Every structure is written in structure tokens, then in C-alpha cells.
Amino acid sequence: MRMSELSTVTGVPVPTLKYYLREGLLHAGHRQAPNQAQYDDSHVARVRLLRVLREVGGVPVARLRELVAAVDGVTTENIDAMRAAAYALSPVPPRAGPDRQRAREIATAVIEAAGWARVSDDAPDRENLAAAIEVIVGFGTHEDRLSIIDEYARVADAVARFEVADLDAAAPRDALLAQLVVGQVVFGEMLASLRRLAEEHHSAVRFETE
């Protein structure tokens, strides 16, 4: 198919497709002449993945680039590509405050308590977790808030267990990673929405009846 057809099929304007090509987010079409190229289903799939990540996941284009590099890497094992994709979805942790070191220790303890032995030492979410814990520790006077973290970890474990089990191991890597990434982003957004809805309900119950 030609670019205009790719555009109509995906609903993405031609200039935007060109932009994605320039940015290396979309692989070039099969060149047939200096100014002619053919696109196929792999392009359609890639564009759809990019749009889901941008629109649903709010992933910035710079992140998409790293992520796409992981998806396209031919030399790495599946697990390495998946790890790279997962890392690309981690936000940049906020700058450390005075309690960060202590928070890091708590984070390590939480990960150990959850039994996540296969998490690598340089996983960026170790730092993100520490950053969140630092804020929680620094904000309230309640030390007992920390007891809830292991509870959260159990919840996360159950969710992740389901999602990983749901992956289709036989799928080609593109599809496998797309499934992982879409699962992470979309299910993550869904959980966030559900959480806000639940909070609206419970705060209404609490503050309207007092």
C-alpha cells in the first residue's frame, strides 16, 4: 500500500506519518523508486501501536523512540527486549530529597518481601518506588502509612501475574511486546481511573454524611 492508504487505514495524517518516519518511530517502506515506497501490515501495526501509546498512554515521542529501539532490536533475547520496553514506560524519577537513601532501603525491603527476586538491580522503578516512598514519609507524620506498602505490593503482584500469564508466548516479538506494552499502559490507565472513581465514591460517603 502507499502512504495515503496507510494514512486512511490508520487515521493518521500523511505529514504525521512522515514525521514518524523522520523520527525513526516507523520503519521505512519497501523502496521501489527514489520517490516511491510500499507499506504493509507491519507499518499499520506499528502506527497503531504508536497511537495507542501516545493517546492512551500519553507516552512522549522521545520515549517512543527508546521503546521502538527495544522492539526492533534483533540481537537481544525476548526478555531483554521486554525489559527495555518496560523501562521505557517508567517515568523519570523526581530529584532526590534528603530522605531518599532511607526510602531506597525501604523500597529494597518491599521488593524482597514481595518475593520479586528476578527484578534487576538497575531497574528504574526501584528509584521511582523510592521516590514515592520518600514523599509519603516526608509528607505525613504517620509512620504507619508504610505498612500499607506491602499491601500495595500484593495487589501489584496479583495484577502482574494475571497480565503476564495472558501474554501469548507464541506470538512474534513485535506482537508480544505490543501486547505487553499495551497491557501495561492501558490496564494501568484503567486502574488509575477505577481508583479515582472509587475515591470519589468513598470520599462522598465520608464527607457528605459527617
Partner DNA sequence: TCCTTGCAGATAGTGCTACTATCTATTACA
Partner DNA sequence: TGTAATAGATAGTAGCACTATCTGCAAGGA
- Provide the binding-site residues for DNA, judged by CB under 7 A: 2-5, 13-16, 18-19, 21-22, 28-29, 31-37, 54, 60-62
Does position 135 interact with its own copies (CB under 8 A)? The reply is yes
Residues 57-76 that bind its own copies (CB under 8 A): 58
Please identify which residue in the block is written with the cell numbers 526478555: 79
Q: How far apart are the C-alpha atoms of 53 and 181, rounded to whole Å?
A: 8
Each residue of 74-88: b (16+ CB within 10 Å) or e? eeeeeeebbbbbbbb
Residue 101 binding partner per list DNA, its own copies, none, with a CB distance cut-off of 5 to 8 Å that depends on partner kind:
none
Of the pair 4, 78, the CB lying nearest DNA is at: 4
Of the pair 18, 102, the CB lying nearest DNA is at: 18
Does position 146 interact with its own copies (CB under 8 A)? The reply is no
Residue 2 binding partner per list DNA, its own copies, none, with a CB distance cut-off of 5 to 8 Å that depends on partner kind:
DNA
Dihedral, 68, 183, 185, 24 alpha carbons, nearest 10 = 10
Q: What are phi and psi of 78, to 5 degrees?
A: -50, -50
Of the pair 62, 148, the CB lying nearest DNA is at: 62
Nearest-approach distance from CB 24 to its own copies, in angstroms:
24
